[in-house]
Structure 1
């Protein structure tokens, strides 16, 4: 007896009618633990890109502090972070504020690195942490005795620094992840 005739194009080891395509001996097209899809990609943190982005964010945060002080003290004439007689750039407190902003950016970069290594959706956690920290810093001047305009000016400078750090590090986080298929 002769074996049944197969349709044109049929070859043993192939399942030509299957939606998975090739299902030959090597296992391609076979359902696996991932179904019919490729294994999920795992992302890895590119620490070099992350920290270079963090250093540049620190520089931008420091410059944001200086620009904020120039605007509030120099243009608006509101005495913040230094006595009124110290001019638009203030005194040593201007350098301390710029240095503090840079350190805050570096601390946020370290936090981001740890979040990226150990948590899912690290960017969301970072946004919440930076946002809440910024809110604390914006509210802080209103707990001290000073003129209302000085309180508002100080809060505005802190807000600008927080927004700069948060927005830049969110972008740095996206750029510091590289995918690796199935590794």
Structure 2
């Protein structure tokens, strides 16, 4: 680890009870009332040349924004700040079951009710900081998300597939 990476700090997000709008259809997130820090959205691919197929910059930006919004919503659902049912349309049944299971386990471990109805709030909220995308096909992208959770950094990997004109998360792995 380099010295500059060890010195990097993230400002914590303020705690608000209001959820941001989950609008994955258009690929945008309403950040006007957002409690989240701004994620890193590079203008060019960080992994230039890593794609199996060449995609246009507009598609890359769209998937980047969608992946950031979906990743934030998935992390919030697992921690009980968002109902898992909000992600039903954007996940396969297997991924939705896994998210619901993880949300139940976390709520039991922290004595919070899943779905944002708990009385105890965490002192720090996770923030999706970065998404790295590799297109394996024009309608299939593999995404690695960097999530800042207090002083720790975690990873979330997913596979997104374009089905019936919308992106769908078919695989989700927490690390």
The structure with the larger Rg is 1
Q: Which has the higher strand share?
A: 2
Question: Would you call these one fold, judging by a TM-score over 0.5?
Answer: no
Q: Which has the higher helix share?
A: 1
So what's the TM-score if we normalise by structure 1? Answer: 0.28
So what's the TM-score if we normalise by structure 2? Answer: 0.29
